[in-house]
């Protein structure tokens, strides 16, 4: 019982901070997919209710479970109309990369604020929760951005890959069968820690570099 109480005392406060941060990071990611598609002429994000800052509109059940089990996950893909773009290939790549780029931008802003907190006159302990929030924003934003660049459906990297290298990418973009098989492969790679091993090295390099700045 004492062990359980210690766990609750030590871990629950962290999760109280991290869960909202995860929702914020996912929402920013999906919102900018939708916003970019809308700006490029596709009204599908508005019609499907995805041009929204409501996290519940963007959560994917399997992606959320993967996040809880493996520490990495994904949101429900924003549907786009390939034929609505003036420059279909280019615009599809821009929409696909908008999510990861928004995460990296969030990480940069959070990191600069983190440096400001650390260099303030007071000690870090005076800003404990602010520090944890900003640190979590940096970590989750970078992790989600890097993870989604993998060229495996339904991740963003696959959409950009199809648009760049396939003659008829519309046959693969947002195809349920492609996304289903891709999700199975993705979960298998997560289960056997293939992606986890790669991600840990990439993220370790990024975070080590940030610490040296």
Alpha-carbon distance of 208 to 202, in angstroms, equals: 10
Residue 152's contacts (CB-CB under 8 Å, 6 or more residues apart) are 158, 182, 185, 186, 189
Pair of tokens at residue 66: 């993967």
**What is the model's pLDDT at position 92?**
95
Q: What is the pLDDT of residues 69-83, one digit of tens each?
A: 776 677 888 988 988
Q: Is residue 184 predicted with pLDDT exceeding 80?
A: yes
- From the list 11, 30, 47, 170, the catalytic residue is 30
- Assign 8 a pLDDT band (cuts: 50, 70, 90): very low
Task: Work out the average pLDDT over 4-33.
Answer: 73
Q: Is residue 203 predicted with pLDDT exceeding 80?
A: yes
Q: What angle do CA 132, 137, 139 make, to 5 degrees?
A: 95
Q: Is 174 left (phi over 0), alpha (psi -120 to 50) or beta?
A: left
Tell me the DSSP string of the chain: -HHHHHHHHHHHHHHHHHHHHHHHHHHHHHHHHHHHHHHTT--HHHHTT-SS--GGGTB-HHHHHHHHHHS---BPPPP--GGG-SSHHHHHHHHHHHHHHHHHHHHHHHHHHHHHHHTSSS-GGGGHHHHHHHHHHHHHHHHHHHHHTSSSTTSHHHHHHHHHH-SSGGGTTT-HHHHHHHHHHHHHHHHTTHHHHHHHHHHHHHHHHHHH-
- Residue 103: alpha-carbon gap to chain centroid: 7
Domain boundaries, the chain: 19-212
**What is the model's pLDDT at position 9?**
44
**pTM for this structure?**
0.86
**What is the model's pLDDT at position 1?**
41
Question: Is 30 considered catalytic here?
Answer: yes
Task: Work out the average pLDDT over 150-157.
Answer: 93
Q: What is the pLDDT of residues 45-60, one digit of tens each?
A: 999 999 999 998 998 8
Q: What is the pLDDT of residues 84-102, one digit of tens each?
A: 999 999 999 999 999 999 9
């Amino acid at each position: 019982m004492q062990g359980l109480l210690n766990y609750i005392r030590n871990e629950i406060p962290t999760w109280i901070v991290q869960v909202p941060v995860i929702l914020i990071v996912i929402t920013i990611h999906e919102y900018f997919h939708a916003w970019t598609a809308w700006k490029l002429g596709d009204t599908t994000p508005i019609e499907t209710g995805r041009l929204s800052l409501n996290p519940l509109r963007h959560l994917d059940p399997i992606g959320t479970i993967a996040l809880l089990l493996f520490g990495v996950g994904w949101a429900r893909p924003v549907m786009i109309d390939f034929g609505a773009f003036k420059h279909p290939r280019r615009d599809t790549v821009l929409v696909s990369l908008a999510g990861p780029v928004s995460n990296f931008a969030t990480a940069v802003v959070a990191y600069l604020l983190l440096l400001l907190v650390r260099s303030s006159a007071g000690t870090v302990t005076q800003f404990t929760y602010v520090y944890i929030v900003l640190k979590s924003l940096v970590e989750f934003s970078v992790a989600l951005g890097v993870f989604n660049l993998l060229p495996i459906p339904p991740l963003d990297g696959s959409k950009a890959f199809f648009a760049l290298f396939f003659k008829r990418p519309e046959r693969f973009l947002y195809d349920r069968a492609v996304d289903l098989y891709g999700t199975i492969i993705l979960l298998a790679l997560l289960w056997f820690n293939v992606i986890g091993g790669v991600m840990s090295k990439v993220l370790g390099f990024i975070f080590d570099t940030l610490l040296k700045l």
